[in-house]
Amino acid sequence: MTKKPIRIVGVPMDFGAQHRGTDMGPSALRVANIAAGLRRLGYEVGREVDIQVPSMESRAYKEISNMRFKEEILDVCGRLCARVERILNDGDFPLIYGGDHSLAMGSVSGISNHLAQEDKKLGLIWFDAHADMNTAESSPSGNIHGMPLSALLGMGDPDLCSIGGPQTKVDANNVALVAIRDIDDGERSAIQESGVHAFTMRDIDEQGMAAVAKKVLEIVNNGTDGFHLSFDVDGLDPEIAPGTGTRVKGGVDFREAHLFMENLADDGRLTSMDVVELNPSLDIKNQTAGIVKELVLSAFGKSVL
């Protein structure tokens, strides 16, 4: 990977989640001091910035077509989209600290807009226990953090799909879901009909992470100008990463996750990254942020030798 300057953007948002606390995720990642580790790897890390997010308590809750806090999420994602696009236009690498996974509608839209200026396409790795492909009609909860991938693919609510512009943000053929193991009933048909490539924990168990990583990279690099990694903490097994509100047993273990990240670094075409759904209020002495730090550094090229 070319060592572009890294710009860290915090998005302390929990409007999209079921459990309070993901708004503290950026602080936990900063306490883990990822930036210092990146500098030791030879990266320039610019001054960190935040997208300002109001507290949930200061908002009047409105039920809008089974989409909780839709207006607030649209506002935050719109501003994040513009920020990410500016970072890429400057030639830098955006590293986003979340916050719940709904923020990816903003970050990925900004990357897509940047590439579209030169008629280029984006690949997308969605590392997550969940597919996040619900719509307002299929969601059992109305929590928008379960809807961002469907919106990026142009499915569901027109407002969510139009963050940063009306175009579809990513081609389903260049999307790889990794580590999924908890799918809502309404999502199954959406996954099968959309054309995205899904790698469940069974696939990882049967094929091994090295083989899965190779296939994922072929998918996200096919005709694209690089790929974005949207890394949801709950893709990891909760035994090593308890600090998330959407725990699902049987996830990716520490060594598998390292291997996956090392493969991404070796490939060298990672353009941008989100870290989402870290909830320090559910963690044990910031254990999960420490694990995530090591994985992020592996994605940026940290190795044993």
Q: What is the pLDDT of residues 106-148, one digit of tens each?
A: 999 999 999 999 999 999 999 999 999 999 888 988 899 999 9
Catalytic residue check, 228: no
179 near 201, Cβ under 8 Å?
yes
| Residue 85 is a catalytic residue | no
Instruction: From the candidates 85, 232, 274, 283, give the one annotated as an active-site residue.
Output: 232
* Catalytic residue check, 225: no
Q: Taking all residues of the chain, what is their mean pLDDT, rounded to a whole number?
A: 95
- Whether residue 247 has pLDDT greater than 80: yes
Catalytic residue among 14, 171, 234, 256: 234
User: What are 180's strand-pairing partners?
Assistant: 200
203 is catalytic: no
Is 157 noted as a catalytic residue in this protein? no
Position 36 scores a pLDDT of 97
Query: Which among 48, 53, 64 has a CA at the least distance from the CA of 22?
Result: 53
Q: How many CA atoms lie within 13 A of 20 on its CB side?
A: 3
Q: Which helix (H) or strand (E) holds 97?
A: strand 93-98
Peptide bond into 99 cis (omega under 30): yes
Annotated active-site residue in 72, 85, 132, 283: 132
Q: In what order do the strands lie in the sheet with 175-180?
A: 49-50, 6-11, 93-98, 270-276, 227-232, 123-127, 175-180, 197-200
Q: What mean pLDDT comes out for the span 226-248?
A: 97
Confidence band of 163 (pLDDT split at 50, 70, 90): very high
Residue 92 annotated to the active site: no
C-alpha span between 127 and 299 (Å, rounded) = 13
Q: How far apart are the first and last CA of the chain?
A: 16
pLDDT score of 150 more than 80: yes
Using left for φ > 0, alpha for ψ between -120 and 50, and beta otherwise, residue 135 falls in beta
130 among known catalytic residues? yes
Cβ count within 10 A of residue 9: 23
CA distances from 152 to 18, 158, 204, 227, 251 (A): 21, 11, 25, 14, 25
Active site annotation includes 145: yes
6-299 topology per CATH: Arginase; Chain A (3.40.800)
- What tokens appear for 108 in the block? 């990925």
Write out pLDDT tens, residues 292-301.
999 999 999 9
Q: What is the pLDDT of residue 111?
A: 98
pLDDT at 65: 62
Determine which one of 23, 100, 130, 283 is catalytic.
130
Domain residue ranges in the chain: 6-299
Q: Catalytic: which of 23, 72, 100, 128?
A: 128
Confidence of residue 64 (pLDDT cuts 50, 70, 90): low
| C-alpha 21, offset from chain centre | 17
Which range among 55-59, 89-93, 207-211, 226-230 shows the weakest confidence by mean pLDDT? 55-59
- What pLDDT is stored for residue 240 in this prediction? 97
According to the model, what pLDDT value does residue 185 have?
85
The predicted structure's pLDDT at residue 56: 77
What CA dihedral angle connects 79, 97, 187 and 72, to 10 degrees?
Answer: -30
- Model confidence at 55, pLDDT cuts 50, 70, 90, reads confident
Query: Could you identify the residue written with the tokens 């139009």?
Result: 162
SS (H, E, C) 36-93: HHHHHCCCCECCCEECCCCCHHHCCCCCCCCCCCHHHHHHHHHHHHHHHHHHHHCCCE
Q: Which has the higher per-residue pLDDT, 233 or 19? A: 233
Neighbouring CB atoms inside 10 A of 100's CB total: 32
Question: What pTM value is reported for the model?
Answer: 0.96
